[in-house]
Structure 1
């Protein structure tokens, strides 16, 4: 029988994976990996502010990530430097400010390694409620803006011409990313959140035949990584957050070989059945 803490970790990890997969697809399509890193690094500043003002950590991380994303949008319109330079500036500055703030708060005992690399085995029932509540809201909103967001990903000008309000969809998408980072920080940590968003989506991209199928497969690949990472961590006593990312990486590597071949065999069998 599995212990209660392991069961909670499994349920929480699956909840994060199901939400992170579809969002990760848009990160892949839009080439926003560095943007995801920026928001993830700024999460540590949210942790520091949560301790300073005695507020909920998840709420604080969400507010800081949302502020950073909106600040980036504003700076992109006015600044004369490139977008990747802005992302680097905001990413490392937010991470450094967060670390300095935590260093000054000597009266607070902080598990820095837990925040940086995750502590999924310490999730509580309240954490699970936050993950599934925030995750459900994220998926509902993503479904609502899916058409506009996907159209603007393909062609911003065409989406604007069709009246799909791509600017509004982009802003909502950034807020959704802030939500996912806030609810998943405890699972894989600040430094590994982007990996959980990107690697399952990259794996699904090699196996899918359309955008909706890719989103579903990304969630499945993320769930497989969580299950595999948790059980491998239990078996070999390895860090849980990094173990999840390593399993996700192994799935990506397998997508070049056995999984890809399996997909080809299934497609051939389906074609033969349809012809028959």
Structure 2
């Protein structure tokens, strides 16, 4: 079954969507979209360092994304600049440094457009194994830590009063985002990863009554975006990664035609 490149792309994309949907809910609830962009932009620096040091690319991207998250936490504690300013500095600096380092790799042929916008049609069986193994681990952490993660998202003060350690929950979410970016980079590229995290979750927010329902609907909508985007790419010969994001946006635009609370009555307060 996995001998066909399009089937491999579908299997890989569905596996990724099942992870980015629930995790994207926390990105939306915590208003971490710009943080997601920052970590995604740092992925290119991880790629360059992986090539320079002969490291596994996925591990290189994860390491750099995790270091950027750690740097943000340290800089935030100094309280000398606002969070959005720090994110802007880290985002553009890591992307620029990554591009400069790529320029020094004259002996290695790097598909820069592939890393920026992804090439899900080139996914291999080993890539699928990484996606599903990593995705299963991420989902397991989300499920096991759902209560403290959700409580610290709704009210960090209340979560701390209950002994749930909201700062630890924040660090866990950052690590999970670094992990998703590392496994998703090859599929949708560093410039489109955040879109797959945010758009299905934002759409699900309008159609769900509880946080748990929102996570499930976000995963389903992510799968719809992947399948619809890939078949659209096959039909009209368009770039696969951007086609997936366009499909996700179309679903979001259609959801705007549905009144909030149409399916479940009064809108639930979940972020």
Task: Give the TM interval when normalised to the shorter protein.
Answer: over 0.9
State the alpha-carbon separation in 2 of the partners of residues 66 and 219 from structure 1.
24
The 3 A distance-change label for structure 1 pair 263 and 162 is: closer
**Which residue of structure 1 aligns with residue 18 of structure 2?**
18
State the alpha-carbon separation in 2 of the partners of residues 193 and 251 from structure 1.
17
The runs of 4+ residues in structure 1 deviating greater than 2 Å are: 260-264
**Which residue of structure 2 aligns with residue 274 of structure 1?**
none
Deviation string, structure 1 residues 33-64 (Cα, Å, up to 9, x no partner): 00000000000000000100111111100010
List runs of 5+ in structure 1 lacking aligned partners. 269-276
**Which residue of structure 2 aligns with residue 126 of structure 1?**
126
In the alignment, structure 1 residue 72 sits paired with structure 2 residue 72? yes
TM-score, with structure 1 as normaliser: 0.93
**Which residue of structure 1 aligns with residue 233 of structure 2?**
233
**Which residue of structure 2 aligns with residue 84 of structure 1?**
84
**Which protein shows a greater Rg?**
1
Contact 2:207 2:260 in 1 (8 A): no
Aligned residues: 265
Deviation string, structure 1 residues 78-102 (Cα, Å, up to 9, x no partner): 1401000000000000000000000
Deviation string, structure 1 residues 89-147 (Cα, Å, up to 9, x no partner): 00000000000000011001000000000000000000000000000000001112211
List runs of 5+ in structure 2 lacking aligned partners. 266-271
Bigger helix share: 1
**Which residue of structure 1 aligns with residue 106 of structure 2?**
106
In the alignment, structure 1 residue 186 sits paired with structure 2 residue 186? yes
State the alpha-carbon separation in 2 of the partners of residues 236 and 139 from structure 1.
34
Q: Cα RMSD between the aligned structures?
A: 1.6
Deviation of residue 4 (structure 1)? 0.6
The 3 A distance-change label for structure 1 pair 105 and 79 is: farther
**Which residue of structure 1 aligns with residue 156 of structure 2?**
156
